A and B are shown apart, each in its own frame.
Chain A
Amino acid sequence: MSILVIADHDNASIKPVTLNVLAAAKAIGGDIDVLIAGDGCGAAAEAAAKAEGVAKVLVTDNAVYGHSLAENLSLLVADLGKGYSHILTSAGTTGKDFLPRVAALLDVAQISDIIKVESADTFVRPIYAGNAVATVQSSDGIKVITVRGTGFDPVSGEGGSAPVEAIDNVQDAGISSFVGEEMAKSDRPELTAAKIIISGGRGMQNGDNFKILESVADKLGAGVGASRAAVDAGFVPNDMQVGQTGKIVAPDLYIAVGISGAIQHLAGMSGSKVIVAINKDEDAPIFSVADYGLVADLFEAVPELDAAL
């Protein structure tokens, strides 16, 4: 078997989730090649070569791959992918965007968001917002898969020395172009990579009150998240949303503040190692999944927590 892993990267380095995808590839077994497609992505390729278990790094460095436009990237991956038994990438917004196109171009199904590898053709994935877990078996010649990073412990990002091979394969579909982007600027870790997350819900009452969470987050080196209720109420932007319709996270410590614990939120964070809930409603469903529950007014408890750290 041979596996092609398409790395998530920012040209300068590979994103940590790539190491989780490599772990899923390792669980399938076989030679693992990593593709770095980008614009000025030599450093990311060098980083990928150091990851554990990589046989070879393929690099295509061209402006057409600069913003991971799905129309161009999918043509490249479908072309290269023909020679592999499995094509894997992370289930982030880039992978979710381009990989189904690859599957369609190869006329095979895609298996989305796997959290476990049973065998080379059988995988486990959540359905119905995590309220059920399906085991699916594929009869396709090429298995096209997105991996939920939190389902796999990452391989080491150091110690490897895979050869880096530049390939000349420029695919420009000519039907889409990049206009601009607006990235949230923050010194805090990205939610999907954070070891500690503190999230606020409707109980926060307004966006300004998230400052008390940010203060705790800065002391703990934590990311700041929110429930869908807080996002829908306009307190904070959608990219902070943790849940089935937002980000799926699994940090070492998740602190839920003023979050009732709707099913869709639990689906996004119940993989966390330790869960703390702070809520004044002692019947809130969040307490049924929390390792440590504190029934208290968050406007008293959070500043107290801040002071105690």
Chain B
Amino acid sequence: MKVLVAVKRVIDYNVKVRVKPDNSGVDLTNIKMAMNPFCEIAVEEAVRLKEKGVASEIIVVSIGPKVAQEQIRTALALGADRGILIETDEEVQSLQAAKLFKAVVDKEQPQLVILGKQAIDSDNNQTGQMLAALAGMGQGTFASEVVVEGDKVNVTREVDGGLMTVALNLPAVVTTDLRLNEPRYASLPNIMKAKKKPLEMTTPADLGVDVAASLKIVKVEEPATRSAGIKVADVAELVEKLKNEAKVI
């Protein structure tokens, strides 16, 4: 079966985030960018499904500026077969991203779509669910285990208080949580091979999707900072402070 994986180019998770002085957003000038960590887990899961003989072809799709080709090439080096970049310089919000992916789903007809549960920039946690709704598919969000059996997929989900397993008719959408797998690193020969794999360029207009957003960012600020308190000498002083000063125990 065909598997479609969506990946997003975001600020590298090791980079310290700085808010622009004019409060218009986060400063991304000359900042190291990388594939969203949850998307890496999505790519890895698709590659494992292919290694198990469940997936026959892995298509990786991204939305972003031309340089987002880098993240698609990374996915190709990890084992995806071909890529699609929906090129736009606009900030695409979750609903519009879901509509773009829906257009790709209509064309490619994958049996499984795997996305990260959220991107570490906007932290929305929406796109996979929205795509599933638009495509009329079932969804296994925050997945820690994915088992394809016949025309169904069983997804174990990380929920508040434990784990929950659902069975979904295929085609279906899965969004990845941290413990689903540990992504591999791309080997140098595979990075070289990835350069020759097909990467199709398209645009929101080609796909007939208007990416105008209904949410406006009014301002972006630094979070309120906590200041350091005091150091206590020993446990006795700590207990005394908690009882008599903070009055929390």
| Residues 160-175 of B contacting A (Cβ, < 8 Å) | 160-169, 172
How would residues 111 to 141 of chain A score, 1 for a CB under 8 Å from any chain B CB and 0 otherwise? 1110000000010001111111111111110
Whether, in the assembled complex, A238 has its beta carbon less than 8 Å from a beta carbon of chain B, the answer is yes
Whether, in the assembled complex, A97 has its beta carbon less than 8 Å from a beta carbon of chain B, the answer is yes
Known: A293-B231, A295-B231. A196 touches B248 (CB 8 A): yes
Whether, in the assembled complex, A1 has its beta carbon less than 8 Å from a beta carbon of chain B, the answer is no
Q: Write 27 A-B pairs (CB below 8 A) sorted by A numbering.
A: A71-B138, A99-B129, A100-B94, A101-B129, A104-B129, A112-B125, A113-B123, A128-B11, A128-B17, A135-B221, A138-B216, A140-B215, A175-B172, A176-B138, A179-B154, A181-B165, A183-B163, A196-B249, A253-B249, A275-B229, A288-B226, A290-B229, A292-B230, A292-B238, A292-B242, A293-B232, A308-B236
In the complex, the answer to whether B123 meets A293 with C-beta atoms within 8 Å is no
Residues in A lying within 8 Å of B, measured CB to CB: 67, 69-71, 74, 92-94, 96-105, 107-113, 122, 126-140, 173, 175-184, 190, 192, 196, 220, 228, 238-239, 244-245, 247, 252-253, 263, 270, 273-276, 287-296, 301, 304-305, 308-309
In the complex, the answer to whether A181 meets B137 with C-beta atoms within 8 Å is no
Known: A109-B215, A175-B136. A103 touches B126 (CB 8 A): yes
How would residues 217 to 247 of chain B score, 1 for a CB under 8 Å from any chain A CB and 0 otherwise? 1111111001011111011101101100010
Whether, in the assembled complex, B214 has its beta carbon less than 8 Å from a beta carbon of chain A, the answer is yes
Q: Which residue of B lies closest to A136 (CB)?
A: B215
Complex contacts, B163 vs chain A, CB 8 Å: 181-183, 239
Whether, in the assembled complex, B178 has its beta carbon less than 8 Å from a beta carbon of chain A, the answer is yes
Q: For the complex, what is the distance from the CA of A183 to the CA of B161, rounded to whole Å?
A: 6
Whether, in the assembled complex, B45 has its beta carbon less than 8 Å from a beta carbon of chain A, the answer is no
Complex contacts, A97 vs chain B, CB 8 Å: 129, 139, 141-142, 157
In the complex, the answer to whether B26 meets A128 with C-beta atoms within 8 Å is yes
In the complex, the answer to whether B242 meets A274 with C-beta atoms within 8 Å is yes
In the complex, the answer to whether A176 meets B168 with C-beta atoms within 8 Å is yes
In the complex, the answer to whether B124 meets A112 with C-beta atoms within 8 Å is yes
Residues in B lying within 8 Å of A, measured CB to CB: 11, 16-17, 19, 26, 93-95, 98, 120-134, 136-139, 141-142, 144, 154, 157-169, 172, 177-179, 213-223, 226, 228-232, 234-236, 238-239, 241-242, 246, 248-249
Complex contacts, A220 vs chain B, CB 8 Å: 249
In the complex, the answer to whether A94 meets B136 with C-beta atoms within 8 Å is no
Q: For the complex, what is the distance from the CA of A154 to the CA of B42, rounded to whole Å?
A: 37
In the complex, the answer to whether B126 meets A100 with C-beta atoms within 8 Å is yes
Q: For the complex, what is the distance from the CA of A100 to the CA of B134, rounded to whole Å?
A: 11
Q: Which residue of B lies closest to A241 (CB)?
A: B178
Q: Which 6 A/B pairs are nearest by Cβ-Cβ distance? A: A291-B229, A100-B129, A183-B162, A104-B130, A101-B133, A104-B133
With beta carbons under 8 angstroms apart, the residue of B123, B134, B219 that contacts A135 is: B219
In the complex, the answer to whether B220 meets A132 with C-beta atoms within 8 Å is yes
Q: For the complex, what is the distance from the CA of A244 to the CA of B160, rounded to whole Å?
A: 14
In the complex, the answer to whether A104 meets B95 with C-beta atoms within 8 Å is yes
With beta carbons under 8 angstroms apart, the residue of B138, B159, B161, B248 that contacts A273 is: B248
Complex contacts, B179 vs chain A, CB 8 Å: 238
Complex contacts, B230 vs chain A, CB 8 Å: 291-293
Q: For the complex, what is the distance from the CA of A71 to the CA of B132, rounded to whole Å?
A: 9
Complex contacts, A181 vs chain B, CB 8 Å: 159, 162-165
In the complex, the answer to whether A126 meets B94 with C-beta atoms within 8 Å is no
Cβ distance B96 to chain A, nearest Cβ, rounded Å:
9
Cβ distance A9 to chain B, nearest Cβ, rounded Å:
13
Known: A108-B214, A245-B178. A70 touches B130 (CB 8 A): no
Q: Which residue of B lies closest to A96 (CB)?
A: B125
Q: Which residue of A lies closest to B10 (CB)?
A: A128
Q: For the complex, what is the distance from the CA of A109 to the CA of B94, rounded to whole Å?
A: 7
In the complex, the answer to whether A131 meets B94 with C-beta atoms within 8 Å is no
Given A97-B141, A132-B26, 8 new contacts (CB under 8 A): A94-B160, A100-B125, A126-B123, A127-B26, A134-B221, A137-B216, A175-B138, A177-B167
Complex contacts, B129 vs chain A, CB 8 Å: 70, 96-101, 104
Complex contacts, B162 vs chain A, CB 8 Å: 181-184, 239
Complex contacts, A273 vs chain B, CB 8 Å: 248
Q: For the complex, what is the distance from the CA of A113 to the CA of B177, rounded to whole Å?
A: 18
Known: A92-B160, A294-B235. A180 touches B228 (CB 8 A): no
